[in-house]
Amino acid sequence: MSPYISYLYGLIIIAGLELSLFKPNFFWWASLLILFFNSLFVWLAARAKFNLNFWNYLISPFLFLLSGLMFLAFSGKWLDNTAINWVIYELIVLLLVTANTIFLYRLITYSYHKYKYKEHSLSTISRIINITSIFFWCVSAFNFQVFLKIPIWLLVIASALVMSLIIYQFFSISKIKFSTSKIFVLVLTGLLLELFYVLTWLPILSVVKGILITSAYYFITSLCRHYIQSTLAQTVWLRYLLATGIIWLMTVLTARWE
């Protein structure tokens, strides 16, 4: 299987989302088609087998697209400036297309052309996708609460499922066995859900809440991975703590309270 088929997949995403921009009623149909083709192409890239590997590989791109599409659904409510909203929409479409194309390309290379595969290239793009998925999902969930009045308990349950899958996939793509990571998946999901629940009551913008949760996810998952792999030196956790602390400080100080 040629890795260049990933470019065809990228074109399908672009076609669906760009058409939705001119025909908003087509957005949800396009979203379903995009998610279907995502599952199909990942299945083909995973040697057309419905095994555990297929499901592990599907989690990242599928949730990335799902959360990204949910984020795009609120494109008209980002800012009052239509032109800026259009630019942001196009940038997010470009991100969705580029990241998924790269992921699929590297997965096909890993599955069918291992002699060309660069070590850790698949896990690297997967981690980037996972971080972005957390941000898109959380911002969208908070928007569902504000604009659609979805009950908090329902958002917490849905977020628990999404976060646990993303954290599970994070450890899986890092070659950490589930027997070792399962307790970390449960604990980290619980911590993020607590933060998610607390933030639902704060009068700050959904984007700000999303940044806080995403940075917390990055901090705790990175530390746990290094701990499991016995590479958690003092300089490592200090580096992550400093980066996360700066993000939280700048975010809170510059946040616009609603």
Q: Say what the pLDDT of residue 256 is.
A: 67
Q: Say what the pLDDT of residue 203 is.
A: 86
What are the per-10-residue average pLDDT scores of the chain (258 residues)?
A: 90 90 85 95 91 93 96 73 82 94 95 88 94 96 90 95 97 91 96 95 89 95 92 86 89 72
Domain boundaries, the chain: 1-115, 119-258
Q: Say what the pLDDT of residue 84 is.
A: 81
Q: Say what the pLDDT of residue 50 is.
A: 87
Q: Say what the pLDDT of residue 255 is.
A: 67
Q: Say what the pLDDT of residue 22 is.
A: 79
Query: 0.75 exceeded by the pTM?
Result: yes
Q: What DSSP line would sit under the chain, residue for residue?
A: --TTHHHHHHHHHHHHHHHHHH-GGGHHHHHHHHHHHHHHHHHHHTTT--SHHHHHHHHHHHHHHHHHHHHHHTGGGS-S-HHHHHHHHHHHHHHHHHHHHHHHHHHHHHHH-GGGPPTTHHHHHHHHHHHHHHHHHHHHHHHHHHHS---HHHHHHHHHHHHHHHHHHHHHHTT--HHHHHHHHHHHHHHHHHHHHHHTTS-B-HHHHHHHHHHHHHHHHHHHHHHHTT---HHHHHHHHHHHHHHHHHHHHHPPB-
Q: Say what the pLDDT of residue 234 is.
A: 82
Q: Say what the pLDDT of residue 257 is.
A: 63
